Every structure is written in structure tokens, then in C-alpha cells.
Amino acid sequence: LAPQGPHKYWNIFDLLIVLISWAEIAVALSVLHNGNESASGTVGQVLRIPRIAKVLRLCRTARFLSSLRLMISLIMKSMKALFWVMVVILGILFVFSLLLTQSVTEHIRSASFDLDAARLEGGMIDCFGSLFLTMYSLSQAMTGGRNWGEYARMLTPVGWDAVVLLMLFIYFTAFSVVNIVTGVFVDGAIEMAKTDRSTMVEKRGRQRVEIAGQLLELLIDMDSDQDGSITLKEFMVAVERPDVQDFLTALDINVGQAATLFQVLDVNGDGVVDIVEFVDGMSLLKGEAKSSDIQILLMQVRHLISIIGAQDSPPP
């Protein structure tokens, strides 16, 4: 249980869980020995509460399940966005609830209004009698906890303006706020998934293995004599086939100059490309040239120019 390395906090967490379990066992033994079940039972219930934290150990095993680990990571990283979403929703609820509560309050204070009749008319006071009740009712209408049509019927005696205000709230939250919030969370999850280091490494590893398998199948297909390597003649014949051209084009490999491509693949210059040379060479040639590749090439060209210039210069 050395509290060192990346797992030291999990080790400390496991130690606390074990200590709590031992304390619970000690309480159970004291109950059997003393027979005081009332006090010991209360202490035992208190000690059982931290055991719920064992659920958090799923986060430790989740690293072996990439999809589950990614979902948990995205949920944890989206807490900040969730906080601001709640702030925005509470602000919208407060504004609309304040307007509806004022309308209902003015209707209640009118001389022709009967309080008992209001309770009979669908529970207007129970749903819109205060700012808190109005916010709670609107949150139910927004999340589907209660049909907003019932609230519209309750507000009918108040006036058409209250009903229209309720409808505006529903339309605004259902078609605007909810969709915008969903889009923000989806975009944020996609961006975080792209920038997740372990996910990127795992994805690239799977892609390399898949491409290597496809290139190996291509080499076997090109190898007409089945000796485990291909010659320039075999390579030139194979690249004339439409299926091979389509496959190499899908890998962003230019087959316009097949002879030059074969020379690039033939690292040791023996005129034969084996499995390792073919797979490694094709993997490096796959895709478009990046800025780093161009800079490395320029550096190598400058180095060659300096070597040639040093050889051509006359001795002093």
C-alpha cells in the first residue's frame, strides 16, 4: 500500500474503506456481546453510509473499459458547463415566474375574486400562489413532470396574457433553450473526446493495426510467387490493377510514379521489398505531407547541400 505513483489516492481510498469495514465489524461484535442493539444499531447505520463510496471504485476499473471511462470523464468535465446551464435556466424560470406570480396576485386581490373558487378552479393558488410555487410549476411544465395544458386552464380566469406568457415560456424553453443546451453539451463532448489523450492513443493504435493488416493483405496479393517479398516487376504489374489503385488512393498514397514509389519502399536497395519494408514504408507515405514532414525534409536537404559543398570546396 505504498502511497506513491498515480494510484496513491486510490490506495488511500481503499484503506479508508477497509478501516470503515473493520469498524462496522467491531460494532457488530459489540452488539452480540453486550446486547445493546439500539445504540450500536445507530452507530452501525452511520458507519454503513460511507460504504456507499464503494461505488466510486467503478471509476478505477473504468479505465479498462474505454467507452465507460470516456463517458465518466466527459460527465466529470461537463460539470462546469452544467452549472452555468442551471444558472441560465434558473434565471429564465425566475423572470417568467415573477411575471406570472404578479398576474395571479393581482387577480387574487381583485374584488370579484373568490379564494375558495380559485382552489376549485384547478388549484391556481397551490401552483401559482408564490414565486417559489410558480417556479416549481414551470419547471414541471418544462421537464414534462406535468402537462402544461393543465396550467394553461388554471390561468384562464386570470386572463389571456397569463396564458400567452405560459405558452411563450414553453415554446422558448422547448424549442430554443433545450436545443441550444443539448448542442453545447454535444459539441463539448465531441471536442473533449477528440482531445482526450488516452482515447487518441487508443484510436490511433487501432488505426495502425487495421492499416497494417490491410497492407499485409495487399503485399500477399502483389506477391505472385509467394516468396514473402515483391520485386519491381510485381509491384508495377499490381499497381496497374484498378482495385489496387483504389485501395492506395483511399490511403492517400500517390501511385502516379510507381517506380519511384518502389525505390522509396526499398530501403536497403536490394531490389526487393519485404513485408517490414512494405508495411512501414506505406504507413509513412500514407496521407498528405504535414508541416513537420516538410521541415524535416528541408533540414535533410540543407544537410546534404552542406556536405556536398564541403566536398566540392578546394582544400586550403
Q: What is the reported pLDDT for 94? A: 94
pLDDT value, residue 91: 92
Q: CA angle, 171 as apex, 98 and 160 as ends, to 5°?
A: 60
Task: Report pLDDT for 287.
Answer: 56
Output the pTM of the full model: 0.47
pLDDT at 30: 72
At 99 the pLDDT is: 92
Q: How far is CA 199 from CA 66, 121, 185, 205, 296, in A?
A: 7, 57, 19, 10, 28
Lookup result for grid cell 419547471: 139
Query: Which residue matches cell numbers 406570480?
Result: 101
Per-residue pLDDT, 47? 54
HEC string for 246-263: HHHHHCCCCCCCHHHHHH
Alpha-carbon gap, residue 140 to 147, rounded angstroms: 8
Domains 79-193 and 202-311 share a fold: no
For residue 248, which of 287, 290, 276, 207 has the smallest C-alpha distance? 287
Q: For the chain, what are the domain ranges?
A: 8-64, 79-193, 202-311
Per-residue 3-state assignment (H helix, E strand, C coil) for 32-66: HHHCCHHHHHHHHHHHHHHHHHHHHHHHHHHHHCH
Q: Tell me which amino acid residue 184 is.
A: V
| Grid cell 518502389 in the structure block, residue | 262
Q: What cell does 197 get? A: 489523450
Averaged pLDDT in 10-residue chunks for the chain of 316 residues:
57 75 73 59 56 57 62 77 87 93 83 54 76 92 87 86 91 85 78 66 71 76 78 81 78 68 75 77 63 54 66 56
Cα-to-chain-centroid distance, residue 97: 35
The fold of 79-193 is: Helix Hairpins (1.10.287)
Kindly state the cell numbers that stand for 85.
446551464
Buried b (16+ CB within 10 A) or exposed e, 272-290: ebbbebbbebbeebeeeee
Kindly write down the DSSP assignment for every residue of 262-291, as one continuous string. Answer: HHHH-SS-SSEEEHHHHHHHHHHHSSPPPH
CATH 1.10.10.410 assigned to domain 202-311? The reply is no
Q: What is the 3-state secondary structure (H, E, C) of 86-112?
A: HHHHHHHHHHHHHHHHHHHHHHHHCCC
pLDDT score, position 267 = 74
Alpha carbon distances (Å) from 297 to 12, 107, 287, 303 = 51, 81, 16, 10
The whole-number pLDDT of residue 98 equals 93
